[in-house]
Amino acid sequence: MLNIAWHTLRTRLVSFVGTFLALALGTALIAAMGQVLATTVDSPDRAPQRYAAAPYVVVPDERLRVDTWQGEQSRPLAERHGLTAELAARFPDAVVDRIFPAQVASGQGQGEGGQDAVGRPWSASRTAPQRLVEGRAPQTAREIVVSAGARVGDKVSVITRSGTKPYTVVGVTDGPPTVFFTDDQAASLSPRIDALALWTRPSGVPVLTGQQRALMDPNREGDERARNNANTIVGIAAGFAVFIAVFVVSSTFAFAVAQRRREFALLRTVGATRRQVRRMVYAEAGFVAVAASALGALAGPYAAGPILDWLVGLGMAPAWLVPSRQTWPAVTAFAVSVVVALAGVSVAARRAGRVHPAEAMREAAIEPRVMTWGRLLVGVGLFTAALISMAVNAVSDPQGATNNKSFMPILMLLVAGVGLLAPVVVRPVARLLAVPLSRLRGAGATLVPAAAATSVRQTAATAAPVLVAVGLAAALLGAAAMTDAAKTAMQAAPVRADYLVLPEGSVGLDRQLVERLRAIREVEIATTAPTSMYTLEGKTALIQRPTEAVDPARFGSMLDIPVTKGSLAQLNDRTIAVSETWELELGESAKLWRADGSEISLKVVALLAPNAPSDSYVTTAHAFSAPVTTAYVKLRPGASARDVESALRRSTQGHNARALTKDAWVSETGDRRGSASRLGLLVVLGIILAYTAISLVNILLMAASDRTSERASLRLLGATRGQVVRYVAGEALLVVAIGVLLAAAVAAISLGGLWSSLVQIAGPIAISVPWPAVGAVIAGCVALAVAAAVAPALRRS
């Protein structure tokens, strides 16, 4: 049977070329994604930046350490202590470094929004090193050196946490965004000593050396976020690659087996057993899988570099990563692809082995039963599992619906279920679509729907790629838009303020600006500052929780925070409001640690609802040096909105902050969140569309090879070449329309299930359908289907 399988491949190349290309592409993608994943996981951290030229760095122990019965637990402190002046005095040759947020005000040579930088003493410039490329070092309290964005002699304002002050630029350096002050001025702006840089090893103190010095780099958290983003995108893309590969291989081989029933019947007639027929089908799949997987495994690693560059260009991976050169991704991709191919062909092989010689010969001219009991049961099972999963999520965990990753497995089940059940609905859908065609003149209006209804297997197999492409595009992009809208609605719903003042950069809203805002008589002002609280859960796990520090006296009129128990009116310096995830009871006194590591006991006076904008709330007494990130502005009765807007503009001028109306803030937040979500999904959809395009073209070419006699009969009956081509094109369009209707059902069910969860936590939201993107995918399917169907007809008619 192996010899027969080999000769079958040689004579039926068209039937297998699409599967070969899909498997080769899938293997290459899995190998490439594996290489990217290996790069993001195994690649060493970025080399030290801030202290690249200083071999030894003394830093304070900025970790909270708590003893539990399972041993010591520790977490980094959100509020840094710094080194003592006594310790610094022990090392007179050390560079005393102070690091604090500092920005040059916008509109002063810095471009829109100003330069997001940090302030440091000039003596610390030698630790990076940052070379002076123009001008000189600062010598007075009102002189600075900047790394970019300004020229020597410019008069600029620099914003720090305390406020804005005028300075003269006397020098320009290279390197990352930094504002260098004189050492005395830096000490005045930020008394805390963050590090001591030395060129000889100190004794008696812990010291960072080698790669450990990177712990003090400003981009460390950003690097980790970028790594996680790349890992998430690559993992999702690889998962969809495997899913689509199984879908393509199984549908292609199922259609091929249906085409070859007469061939299998002849083999059974001459003595082949069922087992031998199955072995032949497996052998064909094995030959294709091994060749395609080998090609993809060899070619895939070469695509890792361009993919990584693409992700870097989209801002979804760190720019400093170097592609890994490991063999396990290629080996894994080869093994996975071979297993996927054999698993995808298993159902088709069993079906081929069940062909009875006499039965097959009788059914050669009439299509046999298109839906086996096994396929029906599996399709109904997958479809039901998807519906049950959506119902469970809506009832038990609607909050989890905001995570797109929980939606994707359900969508895969739904697509697979509808794809398996497609033959059941082909005939009724074809009849439905035939109604508008019946009004057209000519035989084509009758022939096109009749051919689709009688060739159910072919129609279902051809519509399946359209179902995958259109269904996933509509569902994924629609779900992302709905989830983003729900998050934005949840964030905006509690806001009762008329305006919001937001910073542009890491400084936050400086104290001088906040005082200027509070001086506006026509408005009330409430500010929030993000800080942290640490809890010991289960007496074993030390957890850092985000907390908003607010002023209870002003806070209530600006934000209407939803609570399930208690009241925020009781919030004071000895109480706290927490979400239910803290697993604390109303009235319970909780042992906590604040951002600076100090232990405190706070009484729970309110339990927040799941859709609250923050995890917990405390008063500003626990904020320490946390920057103010938002100022809520509410007009007093009788105040003029125009006068208030003018006052807000004057107050924020020169502070790198801006005032927005609530509606503008909601719109901007939604646009920014939506842009980030769509970016990742477009990467995944690109892979899906590549697969489905190959599958669609392959199945249409396979079908065309079996329709040659049919087209010849039409010509004998008097049909012109143009009529045959129009008939073939019409049939392709009808099949695409059937696939689009099935995709619409998938999208409607999945988005409806998602809506039932989101509406519980965010209130009424619209079911979003990304019509431009879906229209583009449909147009691509139409173009591919018509081209793949018409090309053989033109050649052979």
Q: Is 372 helix (H, G, I), strand (E, B) or coil?
A: coil
Predicted pLDDT at 704? 63
What whole-number distance in Å separates Cα of residue 378 and Cα of residue 376? 6
> H/E element holding 608?
strand 599-608
Q: Could you tell me the sign of the dihedral formed by the alpha carbons of 548, 551, 557, 562, in that order?
A: positive
Q: How many residues does the chain have?
A: 797
**Count of other CB atoms within 10 angstroms of residue 151:** 11
Residue with tokens 């329309």: 737
For residues 686 and 473, is the Cβ–Cβ distance under 8 A? Answer: no
Residue (of 665, 626, 657, 630) closest to 547 by Cα position: 626
What whole-number distance in Å separates Cα of residue 748 and Cα of residue 755? 10
What whole-number distance in Å separates Cα of residue 143 and Cα of residue 170? 6
Q: Could you tell me the sign of the dihedral formed by the alpha carbons of 254, 260, 264, 269, in that order?
A: positive
Which two structure tokens, joined as six digits, stand for 22?
Answer: 């899909």
Predicted pLDDT at 323? 72
For residues 666 and 492, is the Cβ–Cβ distance under 8 A? Answer: yes
| Residues forming beta bridges with residue 33, ordered by sequence position | none
Q: Is the peptide bond before 129 cis (omega within 30 degrees of 0)?
A: yes
Predicted pLDDT at 109? 41
What whole-number distance in Å separates Cα of residue 158 and Cα of residue 179? 9
Sheet holding 95-97, edge to edge: 56-58, 195-198, 95-97
pTM of the model: 0.76
> H/E element holding 424?
helix 404-437
Which two structure tokens, joined as six digits, stand for 270?
Answer: 């001459």
> H/E element holding 345?
helix 328-353
**Count of other CB atoms within 10 angstroms of residue 40:** 22
Which two structure tokens, joined as six digits, stand for 27?
Answer: 């293997």
**Angle between the 511-518 and 641-652 helix axes, to the nearest 10 degrees?**
160
The DSSP letter of residue 79 is S
What whole-number distance in Å separates Cα of residue 239 and Cα of residue 233? 10
Which two structure tokens, joined as six digits, stand for 422?
Answer: 């497609």
Q: Is 47 helix (H, G, I), strand (E, B) or coil?
A: coil
| Residues forming beta bridges with residue 594, ordered by sequence position | 533
Predicted pLDDT at 110? 41
Q: Could you tell me the sign of the dihedral formed by the alpha carbons of 58, 63, 67, 70, in that order?
A: negative
What whole-number distance in Å separates Cα of residue 528 and Cα of residue 47? 36
Q: Could you tell me the sign of the dihedral formed by the alpha carbons of 156, 116, 651, 671, in that order?
A: positive
For residues 351 and 254, is the Cβ–Cβ distance under 8 A? Answer: yes
Predicted pLDDT at 12? 58
Pairing of strands 56-58, 143-146: unpaired
Which two structure tokens, joined as six digits, stand for 29?
Answer: 């993608």
Which two structure tokens, joined as six digits, stand for 680?
Answer: 């990742």
| Residues forming beta bridges with residue 193, ordered by sequence position | 83
For residues 484 and 677, is the Cβ–Cβ distance under 8 A? Answer: yes
Q: Is 58 left (phi over 0), alpha (psi -120 to 50) or beta?
A: beta
What whole-number distance in Å separates Cα of residue 228 and Cα of residue 532? 22
The CA-based dihedral angle spanning residues 617, 621, 625, 630, taken in that order and rounded to the nearest 10 degrees: 50
Residues of the chain falling short of pLDDT 50: 108-115, 360, 363-367
Q: Which amino acid is at 310?
A: W
**Count of other CB atoms within 10 angstroms of residue 12:** 17
Residue with tokens 């990742």: 680
CA distances from 273 to 8, 263, 279, 281, 360 (A): 18, 14, 10, 13, 14
**Angle between the 456-492 and 662-706 helix axes, to the nearest 10 degrees?**
170
**Count of other CB atoms within 10 angstroms of residue 748:** 16
- Structure confidence by residue, pLDDT tens digits, 396-415: 878 777 776 678 888 888 88
